[in-house]
């Protein structure tokens, strides 16, 4: 199972949702989970040092020269039950190899959660083609969004739709879950509260080792 988490606006909570989902599912599965970082914020959000070695960027760039076990060697332990495939350094290029990577990851016996990051509408499609492969090839493609008009407008202008929406719920918004689901044509699969405990866990680097209670149950039901 490959779950891609993405957003249409920075600061939506995508990295938090992806990290917490990987931690929740990793505890559920004997073999743990694999968290794939395409945006680059995962190490900091989990309170770990920047992995010094290669990552997805380098695996893509290596082409067919990459040894068969290269992906496994790139992984680093990130949190209890969670391994991380780091982003690496440089541009994510080679969409065809990205499709291969997606199909390899989809066959992984562990749940694979991908932090795809933010898509900016009207950006050069070439630039985003690698990350787009992860959205289009995912078992579940989750848009993480607040009920924010700007985010929703941007999401509508993207050339793909999510299979599900993770709503980061701010109590003061006038738009509710039903409107968000209607506008985007996809179901709300989880409603995550805006909770000070979540923000503090991120700031303290303990999001995945001490998952805030307000995240565990809602995310378990999502995937």
The window from 77-85, 128-136, 158-166, 188-196 that contacts ligand ADP (CB under 6 A) reads: 188-196
Instruction: Return d(Cα 150, Cα 142) in angstroms, integer.
Output: 18
For residue 146, the cross-strand partners are: 168
Asked if 16 interacts with ligand ADP (CB under 6 A), we say yes
Find the binding residues for ligand ADP in span 114-173 (CB under 6 A).
Answer: 168
Contact 16, 45 (CB under 8 A): yes
Q: Which is nearer to ligand ADP, 163 or 214 (CB)?
A: 214
Indicate the SS3 state at residue 92.
coil
Asked if 15 interacts with ligand ADP (CB under 6 A), we say yes
Instruction: Return d(Cα 14, Cα 4) in angstroms, integer.
Output: 10
Instruction: Return d(Cα 193, Cα 218) in angstroms, integer.
Output: 9
Asked if 41 interacts with Mg ion (CB under 5 A), we say yes
CB of 42 to Mg ion, least distance (A): 8
Instruction: Return d(Cα 34, Cα 125) in angstroms, integer.
Output: 27
Q: Which is nearer to ligand ADP, 132 or 146 (CB)?
A: 146
Positions touching ligand ADP (CB under 6 A) are: 7, 10-16, 41, 168, 192, 194-195, 198-199, 202
């Amino acid at each position: 199972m490959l779950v891609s988490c993405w957003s249409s606006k920075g600061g939506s909570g995508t990295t938090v949702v992806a990290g917490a989902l990987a931690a929740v599912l990793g505890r559920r599965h004997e073999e743990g989970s694999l968290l794939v970082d395409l945006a680059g914020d995962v190490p900091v959000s989990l309170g770990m040092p920047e992995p010094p070695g290669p990552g997805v960027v380098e695996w893509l760039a290596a082409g067919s020269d990459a040894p068969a076990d290269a992906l496994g060697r790139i992984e680093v332990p990130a949190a209890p039950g969670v391994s991380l495939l780091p982003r690496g350094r440089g541009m994510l290029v080679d969409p065809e190899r990205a499709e291969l990577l997606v199909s390899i990851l989809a066959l992984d016996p562990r749940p694979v959660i991908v932090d795809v990051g933010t898509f900016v509408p009207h950006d050069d499609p070439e630039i985003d083609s690698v990350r787009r492969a992860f959205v289009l090839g995912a078992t579940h493609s989750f848009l993480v969004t607040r009920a924010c008009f700007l985010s929703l407008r941007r999401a509508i202008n993207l050339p793909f739709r999510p299979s599900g929406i993770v709503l980061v719920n701010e109590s003061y918004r006038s738009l509710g879950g039903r409107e968000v689901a209607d506008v985007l044509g996809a179901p709300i699969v989880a409603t995550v509260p805006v909770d000070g405990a979540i923000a503090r866990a991120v700031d303290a680097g303990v999001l995945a080792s001490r998952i805030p209670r307000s995240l565990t149950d809602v995310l378990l039901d999502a995937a």
